Structure 1
Amino acid sequence: WFFFTHIFFSNLHNGWVFSSTRSGLIGYYPCFWTCLDILVVFTDLPTCLLCVCLTGSVYCEEVSPDMTTVPALPKETAYLYARFNKIQKIGNKDFADILTLKRIDLTGNIISEIEDGAFSKLSLLEELSLAENRLVKLPMLPAKLTTFNANFNRLKTKGVKANAFKKLSKLSNLYLSDNQLEAVPHIPENVRTLHLQNNNISDVSVDTFCRSNDTYYLRPRLTEIRLDGNPVVLSKNPDTFTCLNVLPVGQYRR
Protein backbone atom coordinates (compact mmCIF):
# COMPACT_ATOMS: atom_id res chain seq x y z
CA TRP A 1 0.00 0.00 0.00
CA PHE A 2 1.16 3.46 -0.82
CA PHE A 3 1.98 6.02 1.85
CA PHE A 4 -0.65 8.67 1.26
CA THR A 5 0.54 10.76 4.20
CA HIS A 6 3.07 12.13 1.74
CA ILE A 7 0.87 13.62 -0.91
CA PHE A 8 2.37 14.83 -4.17
CA PHE A 9 0.46 17.47 -6.06
CA SER A 10 1.98 17.12 -9.49
CA ASN A 11 1.53 19.96 -11.90
CA LEU A 12 3.28 19.96 -15.22
CA HIS A 13 4.05 23.66 -15.47
CA ASN A 14 6.58 24.93 -18.00
CA GLY A 15 8.47 21.64 -17.78
CA TRP A 16 8.69 21.61 -13.96
CA VAL A 17 6.95 19.56 -11.30
CA PHE A 18 5.72 21.24 -8.13
CA SER A 19 5.84 18.91 -5.13
CA SER A 20 4.44 19.54 -1.66
CA THR A 21 3.61 17.74 1.57
CA ARG A 22 1.29 18.45 4.45
CA SER A 23 4.11 20.33 6.14
CA GLY A 24 4.50 22.72 3.22
CA LEU A 25 6.47 23.43 0.10
CA ILE A 26 9.29 21.11 -0.91
CA GLY A 27 10.22 22.68 -4.20
CA TYR A 28 10.29 22.63 -7.95
CA TYR A 29 12.10 19.91 -9.86
CA PRO A 30 12.58 19.34 -13.60
CA CYS A 31 9.93 17.13 -15.16
CA PHE A 32 10.99 14.91 -18.03
CA TRP A 33 7.82 12.86 -18.27
CA THR A 34 4.40 13.18 -19.84
CA CYS A 35 1.32 13.83 -17.76
CA LEU A 36 0.79 10.07 -17.56
CA ASP A 37 4.14 9.60 -15.85
CA ILE A 38 3.12 11.22 -12.58
CA LEU A 39 5.40 11.16 -9.55
CA VAL A 40 5.79 7.80 -7.92
CA VAL A 41 5.10 7.50 -4.20
CA PHE A 42 7.12 4.45 -3.15
CA THR A 43 5.72 1.78 -0.87
CA ASP A 44 6.78 1.18 2.71
CA LEU A 45 9.59 3.75 2.70
CA PRO A 46 9.55 6.51 5.32
CA THR A 47 12.39 8.12 3.32
CA CYS A 48 9.77 9.33 0.88
CA LEU A 49 7.97 11.11 3.69
CA LEU A 50 11.11 13.11 4.40
CA CYS A 51 12.48 13.44 0.86
CA VAL A 52 11.21 13.89 -2.67
CA CYS A 53 10.98 10.59 -4.53
CA LEU A 54 10.61 10.78 -8.28
CA THR A 55 10.83 7.94 -10.76
CA GLY A 56 14.38 6.67 -10.30
CA SER A 57 15.55 9.70 -8.30
CA VAL A 58 15.57 10.58 -4.60
CA TYR A 59 16.15 14.16 -3.41
CA CYS A 60 17.05 14.45 0.29
CA GLU A 61 18.60 17.89 0.32
CA GLU A 62 19.00 20.00 3.47
CA VAL A 63 16.90 17.67 5.61
CA SER A 64 19.52 18.35 8.35
CA PRO A 65 19.64 17.90 11.31
CA ASP A 66 17.21 14.99 10.99
CA MET A 67 19.28 13.05 8.46
CA THR A 68 22.43 11.65 10.11
CA THR A 69 22.61 8.37 8.17
CA VAL A 70 22.15 7.35 4.55
CA PRO A 71 18.38 7.04 4.05
CA ALA A 72 16.70 3.79 3.03
CA LEU A 73 16.18 3.94 -0.71
CA PRO A 74 13.72 2.40 -3.16
CA LYS A 75 15.47 -0.49 -4.91
CA GLU A 76 14.98 1.12 -8.31
CA THR A 77 16.83 4.32 -7.34
CA ALA A 78 19.34 5.44 -9.99
CA TYR A 79 20.10 8.96 -8.70
CA LEU A 80 20.54 9.99 -5.08
CA TYR A 81 20.97 13.61 -4.02
CA ALA A 82 21.48 13.85 -0.24
CA ARG A 83 23.43 17.09 -0.03
CA PHE A 84 23.87 19.40 2.96
CA ASN A 85 22.70 17.11 5.73
CA LYS A 86 24.46 15.63 8.78
CA ILE A 87 25.34 12.18 7.45
CA GLN A 88 28.38 10.95 9.40
CA LYS A 89 29.26 7.53 8.02
CA ILE A 90 28.67 5.27 5.02
CA GLY A 91 28.48 1.58 5.88
CA ASN A 92 28.70 -1.57 3.78
CA LYS A 93 24.94 -2.12 3.96
CA ASP A 94 23.81 1.38 3.02
CA PHE A 95 23.87 0.76 -0.75
CA ALA A 96 24.18 -3.05 -0.80
CA ASP A 97 20.69 -3.62 -2.25
CA ILE A 98 20.52 -0.58 -4.54
CA LEU A 99 22.30 -2.02 -7.56
CA THR A 100 20.74 0.44 -10.02
CA LEU A 101 22.57 3.52 -8.69
CA LYS A 102 24.31 5.60 -11.35
CA ARG A 103 24.90 8.82 -9.44
CA ILE A 104 25.39 9.58 -5.75
CA ASP A 105 25.82 13.13 -4.48
CA LEU A 106 26.61 13.46 -0.77
CA THR A 107 28.17 16.91 -0.92
CA GLY A 108 28.14 19.01 2.23
CA ASN A 109 27.64 16.40 4.94
CA ILE A 110 29.99 15.56 7.83
CA ILE A 111 31.10 12.13 6.60
CA SER A 112 34.34 11.07 8.26
CA GLU A 113 34.26 7.33 7.62
CA ILE A 114 33.38 5.12 4.66
CA GLU A 115 33.70 1.36 5.01
CA ASP A 116 35.81 -0.20 2.26
CA GLY A 117 33.00 -2.22 0.72
CA ALA A 118 30.40 0.53 0.78
CA PHE A 119 30.41 0.98 -3.01
CA SER A 120 31.68 -2.46 -4.04
CA LYS A 121 28.36 -3.74 -5.43
CA LEU A 122 27.54 -0.60 -7.40
CA SER A 123 28.65 -1.81 -10.82
CA LEU A 124 26.61 0.87 -12.63
CA LEU A 125 27.80 3.85 -10.59
CA GLU A 126 29.30 6.54 -12.84
CA GLU A 127 29.31 9.71 -10.75
CA LEU A 128 30.19 10.05 -7.08
CA SER A 129 30.50 13.29 -5.12
CA LEU A 130 31.83 13.27 -1.56
CA ALA A 131 32.87 16.92 -1.63
CA GLU A 132 32.77 19.11 1.48
CA ASN A 133 32.95 16.35 4.05
CA ARG A 134 35.53 15.28 6.66
CA LEU A 135 37.21 12.32 4.98
CA VAL A 136 40.81 11.49 5.86
CA LYS A 137 41.00 8.45 3.61
CA LEU A 138 39.26 7.10 0.52
CA PRO A 139 37.42 3.78 0.24
CA MET A 140 37.58 1.35 -2.67
CA LEU A 141 35.84 2.94 -5.64
CA PRO A 142 33.65 1.21 -8.26
CA ALA A 143 35.32 0.50 -11.60
CA LYS A 144 32.87 2.34 -13.87
CA LEU A 145 33.25 5.78 -12.30
CA THR A 146 33.61 8.59 -14.82
CA THR A 147 33.52 11.47 -12.33
CA PHE A 148 34.78 11.50 -8.75
CA ASN A 149 34.67 14.60 -6.55
CA ALA A 150 36.32 14.71 -3.12
CA ASN A 151 37.09 18.44 -3.00
CA PHE A 152 37.20 20.12 0.43
CA ASN A 153 37.94 17.15 2.65
CA ARG A 154 40.88 16.33 4.94
CA LEU A 155 42.64 13.81 2.71
CA LYS A 156 46.35 13.19 3.11
CA THR A 157 48.49 11.08 0.81
CA LYS A 158 48.62 8.24 3.34
CA GLY A 159 44.82 8.09 3.20
CA VAL A 160 44.78 7.55 -0.58
CA LYS A 161 46.01 4.09 -1.51
CA ALA A 162 48.60 3.86 -4.30
CA ASN A 163 46.11 1.97 -6.49
CA ALA A 164 43.03 3.98 -5.43
CA PHE A 165 42.35 5.12 -9.00
CA LYS A 166 44.46 2.62 -10.94
CA LYS A 167 41.61 0.36 -12.03
CA LEU A 168 39.23 3.20 -12.88
CA SER A 169 39.78 2.96 -16.62
CA LYS A 170 36.71 5.09 -17.43
CA LEU A 171 37.52 7.92 -15.01
CA SER A 172 37.42 11.24 -16.88
CA ASN A 173 37.07 13.88 -14.16
CA LEU A 174 38.98 13.76 -10.87
CA TYR A 175 38.52 16.52 -8.30
CA LEU A 176 40.72 16.45 -5.18
CA SER A 177 41.28 20.13 -4.50
CA ASP A 178 41.40 21.75 -1.06
CA ASN A 179 42.70 18.73 0.83
CA GLN A 180 46.04 18.00 2.52
CA LEU A 181 47.67 15.79 -0.12
CA GLU A 182 51.47 15.83 -0.18
CA ALA A 183 51.87 14.11 -3.57
CA VAL A 184 50.01 13.63 -6.85
CA PRO A 185 48.25 10.23 -6.78
CA HIS A 186 48.34 7.76 -9.66
CA ILE A 187 46.23 9.21 -12.47
CA PRO A 188 44.45 6.80 -14.87
CA GLU A 189 45.05 7.21 -18.60
CA ASN A 190 41.56 8.44 -19.50
CA VAL A 191 41.45 11.36 -17.07
CA ARG A 192 40.75 14.64 -18.86
CA THR A 193 40.23 17.01 -15.93
CA LEU A 194 42.44 16.91 -12.83
CA HIS A 195 41.98 19.39 -9.99
CA LEU A 196 44.57 19.26 -7.19
CA GLN A 197 44.76 22.92 -6.24
CA ASN A 198 45.18 24.04 -2.62
CA ASN A 199 46.90 20.94 -1.26
CA ASN A 200 50.39 20.45 0.22
CA ILE A 201 52.06 19.09 -2.92
CA SER A 202 55.68 20.27 -2.95
CA ASP A 203 57.21 18.21 -5.74
CA VAL A 204 56.41 16.76 -9.16
CA SER A 205 58.67 14.73 -11.43
CA VAL A 206 58.72 13.25 -14.93
CA ASP A 207 56.97 10.14 -13.66
CA THR A 208 54.13 12.12 -12.08
CA PHE A 209 52.34 12.41 -15.43
CA CYS A 210 54.79 11.00 -18.00
CA ARG A 211 57.26 8.11 -18.13
CA SER A 212 60.95 8.71 -17.62
CA ASN A 213 61.81 5.46 -19.42
CA ASP A 214 59.68 6.20 -22.50
CA THR A 215 60.43 9.43 -24.33
CA TYR A 216 57.72 8.66 -26.93
CA TYR A 217 54.95 8.37 -24.39
CA LEU A 218 52.13 10.89 -24.89
CA ARG A 219 49.09 11.72 -22.82
CA PRO A 220 46.74 13.72 -25.06
CA ARG A 221 43.55 13.12 -23.07
CA LEU A 222 44.67 15.12 -20.02
CA THR A 223 43.59 18.60 -21.07
CA GLU A 224 43.07 20.44 -17.77
CA ILE A 225 45.39 20.35 -14.75
CA ARG A 226 45.12 22.53 -11.65
CA LEU A 227 48.03 22.53 -9.21
CA ASP A 228 47.89 26.15 -8.10
CA GLY A 229 47.81 26.85 -4.38
CA ASN A 230 50.44 24.18 -3.69
CA PRO A 231 54.03 24.82 -2.50
CA VAL A 232 55.37 23.29 -5.72
CA VAL A 233 57.82 25.08 -8.03
CA LEU A 234 57.05 23.75 -11.50
CA SER A 235 60.18 25.24 -13.09
CA LYS A 236 62.40 22.94 -11.01
CA ASN A 237 61.42 19.98 -13.21
CA PRO A 238 60.80 21.26 -16.75
CA ASP A 239 60.44 17.72 -18.15
CA THR A 240 57.44 16.96 -15.95
CA PHE A 241 54.88 17.88 -18.61
CA THR A 242 56.64 16.89 -21.86
CA CYS A 243 54.09 14.18 -22.64
CA LEU A 244 51.12 16.55 -22.30
CA ASN A 245 49.47 18.92 -24.74
CA VAL A 246 48.80 21.49 -22.02
CA LEU A 247 50.50 22.97 -18.98
CA PRO A 248 48.82 23.39 -15.58
CA VAL A 249 46.63 26.47 -15.38
CA GLY A 250 46.83 29.02 -12.56
CA GLN A 251 49.54 31.00 -10.79
CA TYR A 252 52.57 29.23 -9.33
CA ARG A 253 55.66 29.93 -7.27
CA ARG A 254 58.87 30.81 -9.07
Structure 2
Amino acid sequence: MHRGKGLKFVGDSRVTDPSSRKKKTPKDYSEYPGKTEAFWPDFLLKEWLVGAVFLVGYLVLTVAHPSPLERPADPTDTGYIPLPDWYFLFLYQLLKYEFASGPFNIIGAIVMPGLAFGALLLVPFLDTSKERSPWKRPLPTGFMLLAIASIIFLTWESVANHDWEAAKAQGEIREEVEVEIDETAPGYEIYQNGSSCIGCHGNAFEGGIGKPLIGLEYTAEEIVNIAHEGIGTMPGGTFQGTEEELQQIAEFITTLQPVE
Protein backbone atom coordinates (compact mmCIF):
# COMPACT_ATOMS: atom_id res chain seq x y z
CA MET A 1 0.00 0.00 0.00
CA HIS A 2 1.32 3.39 -0.90
CA ARG A 3 1.49 6.04 1.73
CA GLY A 4 -1.65 8.18 1.86
CA LYS A 5 -3.61 5.84 -0.34
CA GLY A 6 -7.00 4.62 0.87
CA LEU A 7 -7.57 7.58 3.23
CA LYS A 8 -10.62 9.64 2.38
CA PHE A 9 -12.44 12.46 4.19
CA VAL A 10 -16.18 12.08 4.58
CA GLY A 11 -17.99 15.32 5.37
CA ASP A 12 -20.66 15.35 8.10
CA SER A 13 -23.82 17.15 7.06
CA ARG A 14 -24.47 18.14 10.67
CA VAL A 15 -21.47 20.42 10.73
CA THR A 16 -21.80 22.00 7.32
CA ASP A 17 -21.86 25.74 6.88
CA PRO A 18 -25.38 27.12 7.71
CA SER A 19 -25.16 29.54 4.78
CA SER A 20 -24.92 26.62 2.39
CA ARG A 21 -28.14 25.02 3.57
CA LYS A 22 -31.20 25.21 1.30
CA LYS A 23 -33.89 27.63 2.42
CA LYS A 24 -37.35 26.26 3.12
CA THR A 25 -39.41 27.84 0.36
CA PRO A 26 -43.01 27.10 -0.55
CA LYS A 27 -43.65 24.66 -3.34
CA ASP A 28 -43.53 26.27 -6.76
CA TYR A 29 -47.00 26.34 -8.32
CA SER A 30 -45.94 28.30 -11.36
CA GLU A 31 -47.19 25.50 -13.60
CA TYR A 32 -50.70 26.72 -12.79
CA PRO A 33 -51.85 29.85 -14.64
CA GLY A 34 -52.36 32.96 -12.60
CA LYS A 35 -50.55 34.56 -9.69
CA THR A 36 -48.64 32.35 -7.28
CA GLU A 37 -47.93 33.30 -3.70
CA ALA A 38 -47.07 31.64 -0.42
CA PHE A 39 -50.04 30.46 1.63
CA TRP A 40 -48.37 31.66 4.84
CA PRO A 41 -48.30 34.49 5.51
CA ASP A 42 -49.19 36.26 2.23
CA PHE A 43 -52.46 34.57 1.17
CA LEU A 44 -53.74 33.89 4.69
CA LEU A 45 -53.08 37.46 5.80
CA LYS A 46 -55.12 38.82 2.90
CA GLU A 47 -57.98 36.47 3.77
CA TRP A 48 -57.94 37.66 7.38
CA LEU A 49 -57.93 41.31 6.34
CA VAL A 50 -60.89 40.83 3.97
CA GLY A 51 -62.77 38.88 6.64
CA ALA A 52 -62.11 41.61 9.21
CA VAL A 53 -63.49 44.28 6.85
CA PHE A 54 -66.70 42.32 6.30
CA LEU A 55 -67.03 41.59 10.03
CA VAL A 56 -66.73 45.27 10.92
CA GLY A 57 -69.25 46.09 8.19
CA TYR A 58 -71.78 43.62 9.60
CA LEU A 59 -71.25 44.95 13.12
CA VAL A 60 -71.88 48.53 11.95
CA LEU A 61 -74.99 47.38 10.06
CA THR A 62 -76.44 45.58 13.08
CA VAL A 63 -75.83 48.59 15.32
CA ALA A 64 -77.30 51.07 12.83
CA HIS A 65 -80.31 48.88 11.93
CA PRO A 66 -81.11 46.49 14.78
CA SER A 67 -83.54 43.64 14.24
CA PRO A 68 -87.15 44.76 14.75
CA LEU A 69 -88.93 43.50 17.85
CA GLU A 70 -92.49 42.41 17.16
CA ARG A 71 -95.34 41.44 19.42
CA PRO A 72 -95.49 37.87 20.82
CA ALA A 73 -96.52 35.16 18.39
CA ASP A 74 -100.24 34.48 18.35
CA PRO A 75 -101.30 31.14 16.79
CA THR A 76 -104.89 32.40 16.48
CA ASP A 77 -103.86 35.34 14.30
CA THR A 78 -104.51 33.88 10.86
CA GLY A 79 -103.90 37.21 9.18
CA TYR A 80 -100.23 37.45 10.14
CA ILE A 81 -97.95 37.05 7.12
CA PRO A 82 -94.41 35.97 8.14
CA LEU A 83 -91.51 37.34 6.15
CA PRO A 84 -88.13 35.56 5.95
CA ASP A 85 -84.80 37.28 6.51
CA TRP A 86 -83.33 39.25 3.62
CA TYR A 87 -81.06 36.45 2.42
CA PHE A 88 -84.11 34.21 1.81
CA LEU A 89 -86.28 36.84 0.13
CA PHE A 90 -85.42 35.53 -3.35
CA LEU A 91 -86.82 32.10 -2.46
CA TYR A 92 -89.86 33.77 -0.88
CA GLN A 93 -90.48 35.66 -4.12
CA LEU A 94 -89.97 32.54 -6.22
CA LEU A 95 -92.88 30.82 -4.46
CA LYS A 96 -95.22 33.61 -5.61
CA TYR A 97 -94.97 32.68 -9.27
CA GLU A 98 -97.48 30.34 -10.89
CA PHE A 99 -94.91 27.74 -11.94
CA ALA A 100 -93.59 27.43 -8.37
CA SER A 101 -96.71 27.79 -6.23
CA GLY A 102 -100.02 26.04 -5.66
CA PRO A 103 -99.88 22.52 -7.13
CA PHE A 104 -96.30 23.21 -8.26
CA ASN A 105 -95.15 24.27 -4.79
CA ILE A 106 -92.82 21.28 -4.55
CA ILE A 107 -90.97 22.57 -7.62
CA GLY A 108 -90.36 26.04 -6.19
CA ALA A 109 -89.64 24.89 -2.64
CA ILE A 110 -87.46 21.82 -3.23
CA VAL A 111 -86.68 20.97 -6.86
CA MET A 112 -85.36 24.32 -8.14
CA PRO A 113 -83.33 25.27 -5.02
CA GLY A 114 -82.07 21.68 -4.81
CA LEU A 115 -80.79 21.73 -8.38
CA ALA A 116 -79.13 25.12 -7.87
CA PHE A 117 -77.30 24.24 -4.66
CA GLY A 118 -76.53 20.74 -5.91
CA ALA A 119 -74.86 22.26 -8.98
CA LEU A 120 -72.63 24.35 -6.71
CA LEU A 121 -71.51 21.21 -4.89
CA LEU A 122 -70.70 19.48 -8.16
CA VAL A 123 -68.73 22.37 -9.70
CA PRO A 124 -65.30 21.07 -8.55
CA PHE A 125 -66.04 17.72 -10.22
CA LEU A 126 -67.64 19.07 -13.39
CA ASP A 127 -65.06 21.79 -14.06
CA THR A 128 -61.53 20.39 -13.71
CA SER A 129 -59.84 23.06 -15.79
CA LYS A 130 -56.70 24.69 -14.37
CA GLU A 131 -57.65 28.02 -15.88
CA ARG A 132 -58.39 30.82 -13.43
CA SER A 133 -59.46 33.52 -15.82
CA PRO A 134 -63.29 33.76 -15.93
CA TRP A 135 -63.12 34.61 -19.65
CA LYS A 136 -61.53 31.25 -20.39
CA ARG A 137 -64.23 29.41 -18.42
CA PRO A 138 -67.44 30.57 -20.14
CA LEU A 139 -69.85 27.93 -18.81
CA PRO A 140 -69.08 28.20 -15.06
CA THR A 141 -68.86 31.99 -15.37
CA GLY A 142 -72.16 32.17 -17.26
CA PHE A 143 -74.02 29.99 -14.75
CA MET A 144 -72.62 31.96 -11.82
CA LEU A 145 -73.62 35.30 -13.36
CA LEU A 146 -77.09 33.88 -14.07
CA ALA A 147 -77.46 32.75 -10.46
CA ILE A 148 -76.32 36.13 -9.09
CA ALA A 149 -78.63 38.03 -11.45
CA SER A 150 -81.58 35.79 -10.49
CA ILE A 151 -80.98 36.29 -6.77
CA ILE A 152 -80.69 40.07 -7.14
CA PHE A 153 -83.82 40.30 -9.33
CA LEU A 154 -85.99 38.11 -7.09
CA THR A 155 -84.83 39.92 -3.95
CA TRP A 156 -85.58 43.29 -5.53
CA GLU A 157 -89.06 42.12 -6.63
CA SER A 158 -89.81 40.80 -3.16
CA VAL A 159 -88.85 44.08 -1.50
CA ALA A 160 -90.63 46.25 -4.07
CA ASN A 161 -93.92 44.32 -3.96
CA HIS A 162 -94.17 43.74 -0.22
CA ASP A 163 -96.53 45.94 1.81
CA TRP A 164 -94.08 47.12 4.45
CA GLU A 165 -96.58 49.43 6.14
CA ALA A 166 -99.01 46.55 6.66
CA ALA A 167 -96.16 44.34 7.89
CA LYS A 168 -95.14 47.01 10.41
CA ALA A 169 -98.72 47.35 11.61
CA GLN A 170 -99.30 43.61 11.99
CA GLY A 171 -96.11 43.16 14.01
CA GLU A 172 -96.51 46.30 16.11
CA ILE A 173 -96.27 45.78 19.84
CA ARG A 174 -99.61 46.85 21.22
CA GLU A 175 -99.95 48.40 24.60
CA GLU A 176 -101.55 45.96 26.97
CA VAL A 177 -104.99 47.06 28.08
CA GLU A 178 -106.56 45.71 31.23
CA VAL A 179 -110.15 44.69 30.74
CA GLU A 180 -112.60 42.73 32.81
CA ILE A 181 -114.10 39.86 30.83
CA ASP A 182 -117.14 37.95 31.98
CA GLU A 183 -116.25 34.49 30.75
CA THR A 184 -119.64 33.15 31.83
CA ALA A 185 -121.52 35.43 29.44
CA PRO A 186 -123.27 33.65 26.53
CA GLY A 187 -121.67 36.09 24.06
CA TYR A 188 -118.17 35.13 25.27
CA GLU A 189 -118.83 31.41 24.86
CA ILE A 190 -120.22 31.92 21.35
CA TYR A 191 -117.26 34.11 20.40
CA GLN A 192 -114.73 31.55 21.62
CA ASN A 193 -116.38 28.38 20.37
CA GLY A 194 -118.77 29.01 17.54
CA SER A 195 -117.95 32.23 15.69
CA SER A 196 -115.60 33.20 12.89
CA CYS A 197 -114.70 36.49 14.62
CA ILE A 198 -111.87 35.03 16.68
CA GLY A 199 -109.71 34.40 13.59
CA CYS A 200 -109.41 38.13 12.85
CA HIS A 201 -109.94 39.80 16.22
CA GLY A 202 -107.95 37.44 18.46
CA ASN A 203 -108.90 35.12 21.29
CA ALA A 204 -108.47 37.95 23.82
CA PHE A 205 -110.17 40.59 21.62
CA GLU A 206 -106.75 42.19 21.09
CA GLY A 207 -107.05 42.28 17.33
CA GLY A 208 -105.01 40.74 14.56
CA ILE A 209 -105.90 41.16 10.94
CA GLY A 210 -108.97 42.89 12.33
CA LYS A 211 -109.14 45.75 14.81
CA PRO A 212 -109.22 45.24 18.61
CA LEU A 213 -112.70 44.92 20.05
CA ILE A 214 -111.88 46.54 23.38
CA GLY A 215 -113.26 50.00 24.00
CA LEU A 216 -115.38 50.27 20.84
CA GLU A 217 -117.71 53.27 20.80
CA TYR A 218 -120.53 51.38 19.09
CA THR A 219 -123.89 50.20 20.30
CA ALA A 220 -124.94 46.58 19.98
CA GLU A 221 -127.19 47.45 17.03
CA GLU A 222 -124.32 49.20 15.25
CA ILE A 223 -122.05 46.19 15.77
CA VAL A 224 -124.71 43.89 14.31
CA ASN A 225 -125.04 46.22 11.31
CA ILE A 226 -121.23 46.23 10.80
CA ALA A 227 -121.21 42.42 10.88
CA HIS A 228 -123.79 42.40 8.10
CA GLU A 229 -122.53 45.22 5.90
CA GLY A 230 -118.86 45.48 6.82
CA ILE A 231 -116.74 48.55 7.50
CA GLY A 232 -113.42 49.71 6.05
CA THR A 233 -111.40 46.65 5.03
CA MET A 234 -113.71 44.34 6.99
CA PRO A 235 -116.13 42.57 4.63
CA GLY A 236 -119.75 42.02 5.57
CA GLY A 237 -121.58 38.74 5.92
CA THR A 238 -118.65 36.82 7.43
CA PHE A 239 -120.38 35.91 10.70
CA GLN A 240 -121.24 32.24 10.87
CA GLY A 241 -124.16 31.84 13.22
CA THR A 242 -127.72 32.81 13.91
CA GLU A 243 -129.04 36.32 14.39
CA GLU A 244 -129.61 35.57 18.06
CA GLU A 245 -125.98 34.54 18.52
CA LEU A 246 -124.77 37.66 16.69
CA GLN A 247 -126.89 39.83 18.96
CA GLN A 248 -125.44 38.16 22.05
CA ILE A 249 -121.88 38.69 20.80
CA ALA A 250 -122.61 42.33 19.96
CA GLU A 251 -124.03 42.98 23.44
CA PHE A 252 -121.02 41.28 25.01
CA ILE A 253 -118.55 43.35 22.96
CA THR A 254 -120.11 46.57 24.28
CA THR A 255 -119.07 45.47 27.79
CA LEU A 256 -115.38 45.24 26.83
CA GLN A 257 -114.18 48.54 28.22
CA PRO A 258 -110.66 49.27 29.52
CA VAL A 259 -110.24 49.35 33.28
CA GLU A 260 -109.46 52.88 34.43
TM-score by length of 2: 0.20
Higher RCO (CA < 8 A, seq sep 6+): 2
Determine which structure has more spread, i.e. the larger CA radius of gyration. Answer: 2
> Which structure features the higher share of strand residues?
1
TM-score, L = length of structure 1 = 0.20
Please identify which structure carries the higher helix content. Answer: 2
